[in-house]
Structure 1
Amino acid sequence: MKAFTLMCLMLVMSAMSLHANAQSAGCAPGDILSTAGGVSTCLPGNGPPPEQSQSLEPPPPRWESRWGAIASDEPHGVLGVSIDQLSQSAAERAAMTDCKQKGGVACKIEIPYQNGCVAFTVSDSGYNAAADSTIEKASQRGMSTCKSAGANNCHTYYTACSRPVQVH
């Protein structure tokens, strides 16, 4: 029995020595160094130990912001809009262009918004623009502003969203 135990111990130590020699010879972790006829060769073993294996997780998604804007010419009742622009300045330019193309003369930016929604609320005595995360919230905000000003016939005239876009 002692001879059998001693033989098993020698086999285990020999295997450990092969893996240690393989790593010192430049073999990949888990490979075995085989020496035959004076030539050393790295042979695939069982692969790297579990603690050395790396899990390759995909990179987190990347998002690009999107902008929108509203421009108006109040005396002429013209509303210019833009959505899904790459920058605030691009959104404002597009809204101003839209306002002028619809007959606006004194167009001005009412509100730019980013990665969200906008509501343009009108009443018998004026208007307001509100932005928020959803159309419902932007509309509620606009209606609240309209009603708290004591205006009559408040209603949401225009809504839109410019949501971020996943690019990777």
Structure 2
Amino acid sequence: MKRFSMVHRLADASKKGFSLLELLVVISIIAILVGLSAVSYSTAQKKARDARRRGDMRAIQAAYEQYYADPVNSSAYPPNCSSSSITTYAPGGWPTDPQNSTSSGQVYTTSCDAAAFCFCSKLESGSGNSGAAADATCSGLGVADGNGAYPYFCVKNQQ
């Protein structure tokens, strides 16, 4: 009788775990979900950096327009793309790219003179507006990539 109960206990103990196949299926599903979430997270980060770049470009544009509107400046834009020209109008200073900042703080493409300006920033998503901003002021700044897309977001003078 003792022998039978010992065999019975061993048979019950072997049914308490998962089979190797069940474990492999679960691990595979988890790996797929982790992979998908990593891709989604990366895409969200790119969109967030692009949103900041667009905001930076609009902030620079607003500062230059305020400079132009100030009677002290005789309805002219700063003659160069210097950040020191707009410190009064852009207290945060010249923005840096959220991913590729440099020691000079300027990684944006610029073109400036007293009559006009154009600032462009390359977007990671590749869906900019530089095709619409292409004129004499922005000539050569927001150029198309090899696929005919315009990955640059550009702002130019409003006056």
Which category describes the TM-score, using the shorter chain as reference length?
0.3 to 0.5
Q: Kindly indicate which of the two structures has a greater share of residues assigned to helix.
A: 2
TM-score by length of 1: 0.32
TM-score by length of 2: 0.33
* Structure of higher CA gyration radius: 1
